[in-house]
């Protein structure tokens, strides 16, 4: 929490310096923001610095301490009244009685002020002030929550949190949302999802006095309401709002991890319109897939946006026909054109519908090729959804998926279902000690039938196919350079590195070490 602001008023500068020197103010959580030796000067400092604690001498020329306190309390907002302590050289009952009637915090005798005494008094005052601040913050958060949820808020209720500001001051709404992958798969909502959990809606605090309130809206989203006192220039309003937005985003990112996007409304003149600005900001955040991670959008720029209805039906028919005839290699170029149209339109409903159709077609093709479903891969943590935070990333992911289908269809397209199952089992279990018997048992036929069928359709023996997969995998690991040769041998299913090297040489014409040297 920021230090508590203190003003000291005494017509004797030596008295002020004495109080200042008695205790380590900063260590106790206080900051002497200003001092004054004249009450009229102190009144202007109160307006400028808005101290939370005022220490004032009772007897001063022109205006005594009690009159000064009356003026301060008369102009202070009801919920922003400072704590005030009177100073006196003597115990004067009449002064003490009037101080109590005014509701002042305490009455200190100057010659009794020692380090220990002042430390105890300041500690007690700090607890009171911080308790009041916490109550005020909770009240503001509650009222902002009521306002944003659409519940009625009266002028009196609003005045209770904004009374310290001028009615001509502008409000600034900042909505921050943790960047999340676009929900391409229905399995994303299931338990066990590999996506990191959304940031839980705990309270986010900012050390900023222009912040009226900050509240969690739902998982991953926070609303911050700032006020821009005394600023009228459009340019300066935006500069202040941009600073506030960067501060809010940085705070959420630090606490949540990852990145966050922001929508800002920087010149709200009427508090009653805050809910409509909030609703519109949410609409833009729901379209974040078109802008990518960490985008910042100024709500006042919305007049430059003209929505275009996006319908992908015709293009989807073409893609469907290509898939039915296993022409997967022609689909990436079609997808590039389709996603360009989607980006230009920025129609979330149309884009969502297009993605659902593309996922459905992928699932159908994977089933035809006897590949695991996308939802199965998702639940096994075998899908990287980090690309799904932007339209470009989703396009790249779909293109990669269809290229994979193109490669898979070359080997799978002309084979019987049993051979396809055998090949799939080999690709999934090449690192294990597998042979024709294990594969035959898995797909439900005899070993001899598998050998005959496999040789007839592929021109290879089962062992040849298994070896080819293992060698391909070992090549990739050798090129990666992360593993030793004996480690690669074990990872691809060979328990003896010497035998692995012999098989590798027979297959490639060189040893694993020679293969690595050649690639360099």
Cα(213)–Cα(204) distance, rounded to whole angstroms?
10
Helix axes 155-162, 115-148, angle to 10 degrees: 140
- Quick one: tokens of 27? 């260590």
pLDDT of residue 200: 44
Confidence of residue 441 (pLDDT cuts 50, 70, 90): very high
pLDDT (average), residues 194-204: 44
pLDDT of residue 88: 83
Confidence of residue 472 (pLDDT cuts 50, 70, 90): confident
pLDDT of residue 198: 42
Cα(231)–Cα(269) distance, rounded to whole angstroms?
12
Most confident of 32-41, 88-97, 134-143: 32-41
Task: Name the more confident of 311 and 407.
Answer: 311
Cα(406)–Cα(427) distance, rounded to whole angstroms?
17
Asked if domains 4-134 and 165-299 share a fold, the reply is no
Give me the CATH topology for the region 165-299.
Alpha-Beta Plaits (3.30.70)
Residue-wise DSSP of 324-359: HTT-GGGHHHHHHHHHHHHHHH--HHHHHHHHHHHH
Contact 219, 172 (CB under 8 A): no
pLDDT (average), residues 287-298: 92
With 0-12 CB in 10 A as exposed, 13-18 as middle and 19+ as buried, what is 305?
exposed
Tell me: pLDDT of 286 over 60: yes
pLDDT of residue 402: 87
- Model confidence, pTM: 0.66
Buried b (16+ CB within 10 A) or exposed e, 14-27: ebbeebeebbebee
Domain boundaries, the chain: 4-134, 165-299, 313-412, 417-519
CA torsion sign, 394 to 396 to 400 to 402? positive
Residue from 414, 432, 449, 415 nearest 495 by CA: 432
Phi, psi of 87 (to 5 degrees): -115, 140
**CATH code, 417-519:** 1.10.10.60
Running DSSP on this structure, what letter comes out for residue 303?
G
pLDDT of residue 164: 64
Q: Which H or E run includes 227?
A: strand 221-228
What does the pLDDT look like over 104-126, one tens digit per residue? 768 888 888 999 999 999 999 99
pLDDT (average), residues 374-379: 82
Residue 94 CA neighbour count, 13 Å, CB half: 3
Tell me: pLDDT of 5 over 50: yes
What does the pLDDT look like over 36-90, one tens digit per residue? 999 999 999 998 888 999 999 988 888 988 899 889 988 876 667 899 998 887 6
- For domain 4-134, the CATH superfamily is Response regulator (3.40.50.2300)
Task: Name the more confident of 9 and 383.
Answer: 9
Residue-wise DSSP of 120-165: HHHHHHHHHHHHHHHHHHHHHHHHHHHHHTT----HHHHHHHHTTS
pLDDT of residue 411: 57
pLDDT (average), residues 508-515: 91
First vs last Cα of the chain: how many Å apart? 57
Confidence of residue 160 (pLDDT cuts 50, 70, 90): confident
Contact 181, 388 (CB under 8 A): yes
Phi, psi of 50 (to 5 degrees): 45, 60
What does the pLDDT look like over 141-154, one tens digit per residue? 888 888 988 888 88
Confidence of residue 427 (pLDDT cuts 50, 70, 90): confident
Please report, to the nearest 10 degrees, the dihedral formed by the alpha carbons of residues 486, 491, 495, 498 taken in order.
-40
pLDDT (average), residues 494-516: 91
Task: Give the start-end residues of each E strand in 10-159.
Answer: 30-36, 53-57, 83-88, 106-109
Please report, to the nearest 10 degrees, the dihedral formed by the alpha carbons of residues 187, 192, 198, 203 taken in order.
140
Mean pLDDT of the chain: 86
């Amino acid at each position: 929490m920021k230090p508590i602001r203190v003003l000291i008023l005494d017509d004797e500068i030596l008295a002020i310096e004495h109080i200042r020197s008695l205790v380590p103010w900063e260590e106790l959580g206080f900051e002497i923001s200003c001092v004054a030796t004249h009450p009229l000067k102190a009144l202007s400092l109160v307006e400028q610095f808005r101290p939370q604690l005022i220490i004032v001498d009772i007897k001063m020329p022109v205006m005594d301490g009690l009159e000064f306190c009356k003026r301060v309390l008369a102009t202070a907002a009801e919920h922003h009244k400072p704590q005030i302590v009177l100073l006196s050289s003597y115990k004067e009952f009449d002064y003490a009685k009037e101080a109590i009637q005014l509701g002042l915090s305490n009455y200190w005798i100057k010659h009794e002020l020692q380090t220990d005494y002042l430390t105890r008094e300041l500690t007690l005052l700090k607890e009171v002030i911080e308790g009041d601040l916490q109550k005020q913050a909770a009240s503001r958060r509650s009222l902002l929550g009521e306002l944003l949820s659409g519940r009625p808020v009266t002028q009196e209720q609003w005045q209770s949190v904004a009374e310290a500001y001028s009615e001509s001051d502008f409000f600034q709404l900042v909505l921050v949302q943790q960047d999340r992958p676009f929900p391409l798969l229905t399995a994303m909502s299931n338990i066990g999802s590999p996506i990191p959990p959304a940031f839980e809606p705990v309270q986010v605090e900012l050390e900023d006095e222009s912040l009226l309130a900050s509240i969690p809206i739902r998982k991953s989203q926070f609303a911050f309401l700032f006020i821009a006192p005394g600023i009228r220039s459009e340019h300066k309003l935006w500069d202040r709002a941009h600073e506030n937005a960067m501060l809010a985003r940085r705070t959420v990112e630090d606490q949540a991890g990852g990145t966050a996007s922001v929508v800002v409304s920087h010149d709200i003149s009427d508090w009653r319109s805050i809910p409509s600005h909030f609703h519109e900001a949410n609409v833009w955040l729901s379209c974040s897939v078109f802008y990518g991670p960490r985008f910042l959008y100024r709500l006042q720029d919305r007049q430059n946006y003209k929505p275009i209805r996006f319908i992908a039906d015709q293009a989807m028919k073409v893609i469907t026909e290509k898939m039915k005839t296993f022409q997967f290699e022609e689909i990436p170029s079609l997808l590039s054109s389709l996603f360009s149209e989607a980006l230009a339109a920025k129609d979330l409903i149309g884009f969502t519908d297009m993605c659902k159709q593309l996922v459905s077609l992928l699932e159908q093709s994977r089933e035809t090729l006897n590949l695991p479903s996308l939802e199965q891969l998702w639940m096994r943590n075998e899908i990287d959804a980090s690309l799904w935070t932007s339209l470009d990333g989703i396009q790249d992911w779909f293109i990669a998926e269809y290229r994979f289908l193109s490669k898979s269809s070359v080997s799978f397209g002309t084979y019987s279902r049993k051979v396809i199952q055998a090949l799939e089992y080999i690709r999934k279990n090449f690192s294990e000690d597998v042979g024709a018997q294990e594969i035959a048992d898995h797909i439900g036929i005899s070993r001899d039938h598998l050998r005959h069928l496999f040789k007839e359709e592929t021109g290879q023996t089962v062992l040849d196919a298994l070896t080819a997969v293992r060698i391909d995998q070992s090549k990739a690991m050798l090129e990666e350079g992360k593993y030793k040769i004996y480690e690669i041998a074990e990872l691809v299913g060979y328990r003896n590195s010497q035998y692995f090297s012999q098989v590798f040489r027979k297959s490639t014409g060189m040893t694993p070490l020679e293969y690595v040297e050649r690639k360099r």
